[in-house]
């Protein structure tokens, strides 16, 4: 196992980032963020590579990855759709929004569409409570997502044309 | 600066920074603990306060304080025995038990389990909580250690031991909340990780989550197979610890009774790994002289400890040329039983079963290494059981251990000197080597055979010993974290040692992962070490080269030490492994 990371072109980018850090071991979470940005997810091979590079046990890296819900070991779709389930959004219908997304995308939260286009996830308060309920697509916040039609229009922007 | 506080109406002064728990113990006030474990001798301190069993009331504080992790403060008023504290402790244990298998009667740790004794001590009579129970797969992938995460109470003692003392880092808490459990990287089976199988995780696990792979039934089967000639050998450290399993004082030497029990159990021959320890000295000392005379790489590192061997294979794969090529003593004896001794008796080696009784769980893994076999069917050693497993066999056979008559090992592979017995304590291998090296190199008699500088519980001991006009720079190391420190220096070219002894377990084999549980009492290890040195002093011969059975073995069978035949039978090679 574990050798696929070194043959990957991404590895140079990741190594370059790690080399640029003054404090390496201390920056594990930052490194994992960066790696997930490049790879889209954190497979065991990438975690192992980071462990070697930072000179820490792979079990420690795995422990951190498993702890934070932001990190994923499963490949995600091209676009990540997040539903905020914080208190304000919850009160304003986050559950209904989540249900509608599951309905339109034909997947459950935590899953990826078969064409790898969308991954649906939930997260906690993003600080846009005034726009509740919100959904976040690839980091962009879309507010007042109460109507199926509005939700459909947002998703359509991320679908390939034609 | 000293801090004044009151615990249970007793006024006391303790140094700043001390925990409430330690402060209470200075005035003989006991607070129950579970996850907490402090072993000063090995710089081990697990005070993560995950179990909340040690909670106490602190005046003016709203919630209860975990006494293991809360430092004392000036004027603090502590109650350790208030009803609130007592009820909270019981509730904690009940919560732990609500997600713990109720199979205590058939658990390997039955009557040796900290959780079980705590439940009894706290008077838990029923479990008030019902809820989800974890379901994890049991990991039986390795030859040494069985992991049953269902019995894990998330105390993380194993993790602290593996990461901080041994610096192997196999374990980590994985997941969060109720789903948290101690696991390996990527949930790999233990056998596929860098685990050295030292078994120190087993030594500190409070429950049955970590135990040795039990081989007792395999031994019973061999003993009851009329076509098998079953030979047993016992390591030096077993005889100074086995008595503890039968309620004898720690440090009681039970060599004679142990041999008596093994005969009673039906072994055809009872041999002594000490014989092979003497043999190891002959081989390793000659190897050292050979390296010095032929410009070989120094330092020479001892190779008796299989956990240490696996450690350097994973962690320092570029240094594989410096450890001695000597097999470990029980492997040497195994191969001799199946070659030299089989020939003497005229028995087919395939019908011989060699059983090793070891203070160690890594020896189980070692025996399964494919290169430690003369052919695919004849491993040098067939079955390895720990001191604990031998005790179990003795109990199963209803043998009254303390009433056994003292018996002696069989000849010739049961002969040994005092130099061999000290292999069981840290520093012993080098002390034994020096006793022989001095006499061989100078041609003079060594009057004072005891090298005090090499004894004791310091993690890294160093000495310069002049022999025949040359200074020998030596080091004795126990604990893999200490080994790492020195190996990093060797790698960086910053060390000038000639020879280094390394043992994975704290204290050497007397503190092995297969020994009777010490439950955090390090005095037990000291008592075992003292017994080792007592046994050495009682031996008429105390230098390996004086062992007449060894002299005959070379004369009749092996030829020269470190010669061709010795190489073929007694030496081995190492494999670079990945760090996971």
Tokens in use for B425? Answer: 């304590």
B233: confidence class by pLDDT, cuts 50, 70, 90? very high
pLDDT of residue B2: 93
Q: Where are the beta strands (DSSP E) in B142-213?
A: 145-147, 171-174, 181-184, 210-212
Residue B114's pLDDT is 97
* Numbered residues of chain A with Cβ closer than 8 Å to any chain B Cβ: 2, 44, 47-48, 51-52, 56-63, 66-67
Report chain B residues whose CB lies below 8 A from the CB of A60: 163, 169, 172
Please give the Cα distance from B5 to A146 (Å, whole number): 61
Chain A contact present for B578, CB below 8 A: yes
Counting one residue from chain A and one from chain B, the pairs whose CB atoms sit within 8 A come to 52
pLDDT at position B377 is: 84
Tell me the pairing of strands B210-212 and B145-147: antiparallel
Average pLDDT over residues B456-468: 94
| Structure tokens given for B407 | 């018996």
Fold of A79-158: Glutaredoxin (3.40.30)
Per-domain residue ranges for chain A? 4-67, 79-158
User: What span, in angstroms and rounded, lies between the C-alpha atoms of B228 and B351?
Assistant: 5
Binary contact (A62, B174; C-beta < 8 A): yes
ipTM of this complex prediction, to 2 decimal places: 0.91
Q: How far is CA B492 from CA A34, A115, B141, B489, B496, in A?
A: 32, 52, 36, 5, 11
Q: Is the confidence at residue A2, as pLDDT, over 50?
A: no
Interface probe with A: pick from B163, B189, B580, most Cβ of A within 10 Å: B580
Give me the phi and psi of A23, to 5 degrees please: -105, 115
Mean pLDDT of B163-170: 97
d(CA B577, CA B580): 9
CA separation for the pair B231, B242 (Å, rounded): 19
Chain A contact for B175, CB < 8 A?
yes
Contacts of B578 in chain A (CB under 8 A): 2
Mean of the pLDDT values across residues B524-537? 97
Query: Could you write out the three-class secondary structure of B146-157?
Result: EECHHHCCCCCH
For residue range B380-392, list pLDDT tens digits in order: 999 999 999 999 9
Q: Are B146 and B461 in contact (CB under 8 A)?
A: no
Average pLDDT over residues B80-96: 96
Residues with Cβ < 8 Å from B76, sequence gap 6 or more? B3, B5, B6, B20, B58, B59
Domains defined along chain B, listed by start: 2-98 (3.10.20.740), 134-212 (3.30.70.20), 216-570 (3.40.50.1780)
pLDDT, tens digit, 9 for 90 and up, residues B4-19: 999 999 999 999 999 9
Active-site residue numbers of B?
284, 287, 304, 324, 363, 366, 371, 509
pLDDT at A7: 55
C-beta neighbour count of A70 within 10 angstroms: 12
Rounded mean pLDDT, B264-268: 98
Q: Which of A28, A54, A56, A59 to mutate to test the interface with B (most CBs of B within 10 A)?
A: A59
What are the chain A neighbours of B186 within 8 Å (beta carbons)? 44, 47-48, 58, 62
Residues B106-110: what's their mean pLDDT? 97
Query: Do B516 and B388 form a contact (C-beta atoms < 8 A)?
Result: yes
| Strand bridging mode B181-184 / B269-272 | unpaired
Distance (Å, whole) CA B427 – CA B500: 9
């Amino acid at each position: 196992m574990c050798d696929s990371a070194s043959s990957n072109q991404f590895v140079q980018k990741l190594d370059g980032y790690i080399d640029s850090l003054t404090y390496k071991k201390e920056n594990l979470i930052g490194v994992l963020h960066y790696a997930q940005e490049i790879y889209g997810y954190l497979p065991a091979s990438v975690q192992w590579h980071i462990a070697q590079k930072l000179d820490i046990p792979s079990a420690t890296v795995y422990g951190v990855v498993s702890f934070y819900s932001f990190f994923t070991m499963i490949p995600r779709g091209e676009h990540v759709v997040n539903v905020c389930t914080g208190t304000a959004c919850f009160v304003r219908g986050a559950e209904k929004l989540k249900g509608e997304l599951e309905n339109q995308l034909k997947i459950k939260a935590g899953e990826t569409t078969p064409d790898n286009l969308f991954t649906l996830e939930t997260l906690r308060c993003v600080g846009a409570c005034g726009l509740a309920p919100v959904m976040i697509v690839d980091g962009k916040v879309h507010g007042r997502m109460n109507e199926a039609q509005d939700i459909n229009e947002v998703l359509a922007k991320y679908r390939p044309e034609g | 600066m000293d801090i004044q506080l009151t615990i249970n109406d007793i006024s006391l002064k303790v140094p700043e920074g001390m925990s409430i728990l330690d402060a209470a113990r200075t005035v003989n006030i006991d607070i129950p603990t579970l996850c907490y474990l402090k072993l000063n001798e090995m710089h081990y301190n697990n005070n993560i306060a995950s179990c909340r069993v040690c909670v106490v009331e602190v005046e003016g504080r709203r919630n209860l304080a975990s006494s293991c992790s809360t430092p004392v403060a000036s004027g603090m008023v502590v109650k350790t025995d208030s009803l609130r504290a007592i009820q909270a402790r019981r509730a904690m244990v009940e919560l732990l038990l609500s997600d713990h298998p109720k199979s205590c009667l058939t658990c390997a740790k039955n009557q040796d389990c900290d959780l079980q004794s705590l439940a009894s001590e706290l008077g838990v009579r029923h479990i008030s909580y019902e809820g989800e129970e974890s379901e994890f797969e049991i990991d039986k992938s390795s030859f040494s250690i069985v992991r049953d995460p269902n019995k894990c109470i998330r105390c993380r003692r194993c993790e602290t031991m593996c990461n901080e003392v041994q610096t192997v880092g196999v374990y980590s808490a994985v997941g969060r909340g109720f789903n948290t459990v101690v696991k390996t990287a990527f949930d790999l089976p233990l056998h596929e990780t860098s685990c050295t199988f030292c078994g120190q995780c087993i030594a500190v696990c409070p429950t049955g989550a970590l135990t040795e792979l039990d081989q007792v039934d395999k031994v019973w089967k061999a003993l009851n197979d009329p076509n098998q000639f079953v030979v047993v050998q016992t390591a030096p450290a077993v005889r100074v610890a086995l008595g503890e399993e039968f309620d004898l004082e720690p440090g009681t030497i039970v060599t004679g009774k142990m041999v008596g029990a093994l005969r009673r159990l039906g072994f055809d021959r009872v041999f002594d790994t000490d014989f092979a320890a003497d043999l190891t000295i002959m081989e390793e000392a000659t190897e050292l002289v050979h390296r010095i005379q032929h410009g070989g790489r120094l330092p020479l590192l001892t190779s008796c400890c299989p956990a240490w061997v696996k450690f350097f294979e994973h962690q320092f794969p570029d240094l594989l040329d410096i450890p001695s090529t000597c097999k470990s003593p029980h492997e040497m004896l195994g191969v001799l039983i199946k070659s030299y001794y089989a020939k003497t008796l005229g028995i087919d080696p395939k019908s011989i079963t060699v059983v090793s009784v070891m203070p160690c769980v890594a020896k189980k893994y070692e025996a399964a290494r494919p290169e430690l076999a003369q052919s695919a069917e004849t491993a040098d050693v067939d079955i390895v059981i720990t001191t604990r497993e031998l005790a179990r066999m003795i109990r199963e056979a209803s043998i009254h251990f303390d009433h056994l008559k003292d018996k002696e090992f069989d000849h010739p592979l049961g002969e040994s000197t005092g130099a061999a017995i000290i292999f069981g304590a840290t520093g012993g291998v080098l002390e034994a080597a020096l006793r022989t090296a001095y006499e061989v190199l100078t041609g003079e008699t060594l009057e004072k055979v005891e090298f005090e500088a090499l004894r004791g519980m310091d993690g890294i001991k160093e000495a310069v010993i002049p022999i025949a006009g040359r200074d020998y720079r030596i080091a004795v190391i126990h604990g893999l974290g200490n080994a790492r420190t020195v190996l990093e220096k060797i790698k960086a070219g910053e060390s000038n040692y000639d020879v280094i002894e390394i043992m994975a377990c704290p204290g050497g084999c007397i503190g092995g992962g297969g020994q009777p549980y010490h439950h955090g009492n390090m005095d037990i290890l000291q008592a075992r070490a003292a017994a080792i040195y007592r046994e050495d002093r009682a031996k008429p011969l105390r230098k390996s080269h004086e062992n007449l059975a060894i002299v005959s073995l070379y004369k009749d069978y092996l030829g020269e030490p470190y010669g061709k035949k010795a190489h073929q039978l007694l030496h081995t090679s190492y494999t670079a492994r990945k760090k996971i």
